[in-house]
Amino acid sequence: MPGFPYPRNTALASQLESLVRVNGGIPATIGVLNGVARVGLSPEEIIELTKLAGKPDTRKVSRRDLGYICGLVNIYLLQGMMKQLTL
């Protein structure tokens, strides 16, 4: 199922990060850019990802898909990163 279309998805990401900050948290939007998992995307990186929404070669993935998306070589690094994020 596709997500929100651009530019609504960018606005939503910004609103959600603001909501986290207002409640005392530190937002860390997660994305995979060029095969590299990134935690704590910059505003420019969020725009880069959200502009790709709905394109045939763009995938919306969950935590379980990260190893597949980034390649099996990186799976142990990703598992460790995800474990840290859930602590």
Residue predicted with more confidence, 41 or 66: 41
Sign of CA dihedral 72, 13, 10, 56: positive
Four-point Cα dihedral 1, 52, 15, 3, nearest 10: -10
pLDDT tens digits, 23-60? 999 998 888 887 777 889 999 999 998 898 888 877 77
Average pLDDT, the chain: 78
User: Using CA atoms, how far apart are residues 48 and 34, in angstroms rounded to an integer?
Assistant: 11
Q: Does position 82 have pLDDT exceeding 60, yes or no?
A: no
Secondary structure E strands in the chain: 30-33, 36-39
Q: CB within 8 A of 58, min separation 6: which ones?
A: 52
pLDDT score for 22: 96
Q: So what's the pLDDT on residue 78?
A: 46
